[in-house]
Amino acid sequence: MNKTIIAALVGASVLAGGCGTVLREVERLAVRSSPGPSIGTATATTAPQGTPGATTAPQGTPGAGDLKQAARAALGAVPGSTLVSIETEENGRLWEVQVVGQDGTEHQLDVESGKVVGGPTTEEEDAADKAKHRARVSAAKLDYAQAADRIAAAVPEGRITELNLDTEQGKTVWEADVLTPGGTKHEVAIDAATGTVTRNNSATT
């Protein structure tokens, strides 16, 4: 508080009530003018991002973060491949991932906590199966990450538990199962070329 104002108030108190009033007034002013933290000011402590006390949500799509982490690990284990299927197993602890190589060969991997713990193992398929894989991959203009973002946007509160590149009514689509915290399961499909949602069904599990 401005010292001039304090002096003026003290002087007024002397005229009005004598020394006892002066002492009480000085004590009251000292308490009011003492520095201290206040709510909403820079002195309030906040936990930095990335610490256990921080409440800021992680960057990226909340419903697809662990899926993307598992996918990156699987794709890194099979260079040049394209993800065509990813699904949670063992109550979400493990991800079962299928990727397709440039020649159409499908490889299966198990990923836990962002690390490959099984595979890659090669699926025994004939030339027709490999050609089918190549055709789907070629038709999909959205990769798994872009598809996951579109699907998560369609069910903002949900977590993607399965994502597959498939064919539906003659179109190449990304199909997904999305589970919400309340136990509702959404079956969502998007056009793999345009990203348009073509199906969004829900049922309580």
Residue 60 falls in which region: left (phi positive, over 0), alpha (psi -120 to 50) or beta: left
Inter-axis angle of helices 144-154 and 65-77, nearest 10: 170
Angle at 140 between CA 137 and CA 146, to 5 degrees: 115
Could you write out the three-class secondary structure of the chain?
Answer: CCHHHHHHHHHHHHHHHHHHHHHHHHHHHHHHHCCCCCCCCCCCCCCCCCCCCCCCCCCCCCCCHHHHHHHHHHHHHCCCCEEEEEEEECCCCEEEEEEECCCCCEEEEEEECCEEEEEEEECCCCHHHHHHHHHHHHHCCCCHHHHHHHHHHHCCCCEEEEEEEEEECCEEEEEEEEECCCCEEEEEEEECCCCCEEEEEEEEC
Tell me the pLDDT of the chain (205 aa) as tens digits. Answer: 444 444 444 344 434 444 444 344 434 444 444 444 333 333 333 333 333 333 233 333 446 789 999 999 999 999 999 999 999 997 888 999 999 999 999 999 999 999 999 999 998 899 999 999 999 999 999 999 999 999 999 999 899 999 999 999 999 999 999 999 999 999 999 999 999 999 999 877 6
**CA trace torsion 81, 95, 72, 135 (10° rounding):** 30
Report all structural domains of the chain as residue ranges with CATH numbers, in order of start: 65-204 (3.10.450.40)
Lookup: tokens for 10 = 């003290």
Angle at 145 between CA 187 and CA 60, to 5 degrees: 100
Task: Report which of 34, 120, 19 is spatially closest to residue 76, judged by C-alpha positions.
Answer: 120
In contact, 70 and 98? CB cutoff 8 Å: no
Residue 204 has a pLDDT of 72
Residue 188 has a pLDDT of 97
